[in-house]
A and B are shown apart, each in its own frame.
Chain A
Amino acid sequence: MNSNSTKARKKILIILTQSPYSGSLSREAIDYCLAAAAFEQDLELLFTGDAVLQLIKNQEPSAIDQKNLTKTLSALPIYGIDKFYVDSNSLAQYGINDNLCLPTIKVDESEISELIANADTILNF
């Protein structure tokens, strides 16, 4: 890759791995996505592992003094982020059905490999 290629609009893949309320990284990752969207970056989000729990509807985190993450997640399409991928194996592992808080595309291992291969930059949160 030469320095000229950095001037083109890059495809950024955000890999999310954290459960919604185990720590603050899940929220800080979404904060990054919102900031990147404000700078008109080309973002794709992949929810894998524990992060699929972020997509469950009707969460009530006020019971543990946390802000509802799905409210922020659901706002992402308003900011122009509309490519959401979810690891089908992780969904199956947790027994989560299709009723998610975002319109997602299910992907298997080989499709995840493709997402990673096609991204210019990857950030892991």
Chain B
Amino acid sequence: MNYSLVILGAPYSTQSATTALNFTKALLKNGHQIYRIFFYHDAVHNGSELSTPPQDELNIPAEWQKLKKDHSIDLVICIAAAVKRGILDTNEARRHEKSSSNLSDCFELSGLGQLVDATEHSDRVITFGP
């Protein structure tokens, strides 16, 4: 079956992202397809390249990056929710005249149309969070 996930929670603030991560791994293990994972609301912090948890804790942003590299999963971050919270790629940093950017290149900044598109093309859409 073809799934899309909507994640609303920031890593380490709530269980939202961790549960979504476990669910994603379970989907892949059971042979399902993932059309898109859409990060909205506080979940935009999952895209931070700078997140540095203690070594004995799960590095949630790094886990998403690994899933992208291993399975080419489409990881989309809502651009409006991200920029507002200080998650910027190099383009946005330049456009808003900021001195640095912090979005991992495994994620793509895009609009809510990508979430609409995901609901159109997925058999199931599961919300996690906030």
Question: A: which residues have CB within 8 A of B?
Answer: 1, 3, 5-6, 10, 12, 23-25, 28, 31-32, 35-36, 39, 41, 121-125
Q: SS class of chain A's interface: helix, strand, loop or mixed?
A: mixed
Chain B interface residue number, banded: 20 to 34
Known: A1-B123, A125-B127. 6 other contacts (CB 8 A): A5-B123, A12-B119, A25-B41, A35-B116, A124-B127, A125-B8
Q: How many contacts between A and B, using CB within 8 angstroms?
A: 52
Question: B: which residues have CB within 8 A of A?
Answer: 1-2, 6, 8, 40-41, 80-81, 111-113, 115-116, 119-123, 125, 127, 130
A23 touches B130 (CB 8 A): yes
Chain B proximity of A19: nearest CB distance (Å)? 13
Q: How far is the CA of A125 from the CA of B41 in the complex (A)?
A: 10
With A28-B81, A39-B113: A6-B121 Cβ-Cβ less than 8 Å: yes
